[in-house]
């Protein structure tokens, strides 16, 4: 069983507390900006792994840990009016620290990090809060261009609304070379698809990424 140390986790209470007043104020003024839809891409899992929990850096039953820089992601699943969407399922999938996916279509699959889970899923509670521990993925070459480091998200709400998107990293120089990122034409929409670095704790960068669904 995996355990999250209290000293290295983004504080659920702190995250919600800091954002609660802002969310109320935003909801009173205007709708939140909807998280942009983006392509699923070719690497959504063919078969979801038996271990698909919130910690992608460790696979149950193995002694090794994933290579790369460990990061923590947290945020909330929200409606445009700012209230949480209880019961939503949040899935993420991504390349490993070598830029390789665990997928039959991945041409470099034999070189992938076998200790990296690659996919995780959680169900949010009444507060809409989710969190994952993973690694920062490496960029990779599609053959048609470079992909900047990114993490794929799929959210399915309790009433079956669906959002598929991609999360980008702030200050990443390769964002300016990625055609999918640049397809988000306005700065505001690019910001809505980009996580915020909110601190470093236990040596891990901590990112905030809220998902706003119409």
Whether 46 is catalytic is no
Among residues 140, 181, 207, 209, the one annotated as catalytic is 140
Asked if 160 is an active-site residue, the reply is no
Which helix H or strand E contains 23, and what residues bound it? helix 12-29
Burial pattern 28-62, b for ≥16 Cβ within 10 A else e, equals eeeebebbbebeebebebeeebebbbbbbbbbeee
Task: Work out the burial of residue 148: count CB atoms within 10 Å of its CB; fewer than 13 is exposed, 13-18 middle, 19 or more buried.
Answer: buried
| DSSP state letter for 136 | P
In the beta sheet, which residues pair with residue 159? none
Tell me which of 103, 150, 168, 209 is the catalytic residue. 150
Q: Is 198 helix (H, G, I), strand (E, B) or coil?
A: strand
End-to-end CA distance of the chain: 36
CA distance 80 to 99: 34
**Could you give the CA distance from residue 64 to residue 62 in angstroms, rounded to a whole number?**
6
Radius of gyration of the chain from its Cα atoms, rounded to whole angstroms = 17
Active site residue 147: yes
**Which residue out of 130, 147, 153, 207 is catalytically annotated?**
147
Known catalytic residue at 196: no
Sign of CA dihedral 167, 172, 177, 183: positive
Catalytic residue among 101, 130, 181, 209: 101
**Is 103 a known active-site residue?**
no
Give the residue numbers marked as catalytic: 101, 140, 147, 150, 152
């Amino acid at each position: 069983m995996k355990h999250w140390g209290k000293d290295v986790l983004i504080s659920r209470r702190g995250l919600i507390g800091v954002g609660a007043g802002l969310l109320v104020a935003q909801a009173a003024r205007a709708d939140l900006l909807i998280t942009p839809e983006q392509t699923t891409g070719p690497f959504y899992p063919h078969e979801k792994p038996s271990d698909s929990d919130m910690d992608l850096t460790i696979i149950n039953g193995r002694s090794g840990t994933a290579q790369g820089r460990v990061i923590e992601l947290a945020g909330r699943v929200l409606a445009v009016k700012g209230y949480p969407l209880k019961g939503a399922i949040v899935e993420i999938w991504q390349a490993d620290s070598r830029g390789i996916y665990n997928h039959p279509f991945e041409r470099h699959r034999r070189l992938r990090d076998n200790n990296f889970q690659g996919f995780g899923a959680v169900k949010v509670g009444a507060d809409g809060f989710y969190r994952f521990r993973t690694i920062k993925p490496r960029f990779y070459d599609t053959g048609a261009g470079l992909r900047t480091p990114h993490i794929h998200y799929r959210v399915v709400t309790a009433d079956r609304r669906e959002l598929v998107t991609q999360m980008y990293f702030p200050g990443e120089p390769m964002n300016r070379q990625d055609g999918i990122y640049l397809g988000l034409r306005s700065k505001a929409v690019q910001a809505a698809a980009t996580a915020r670095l909110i601190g470093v704790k236990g040596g891990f960068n901590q990112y905030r990424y809220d998902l706003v669904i119409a």
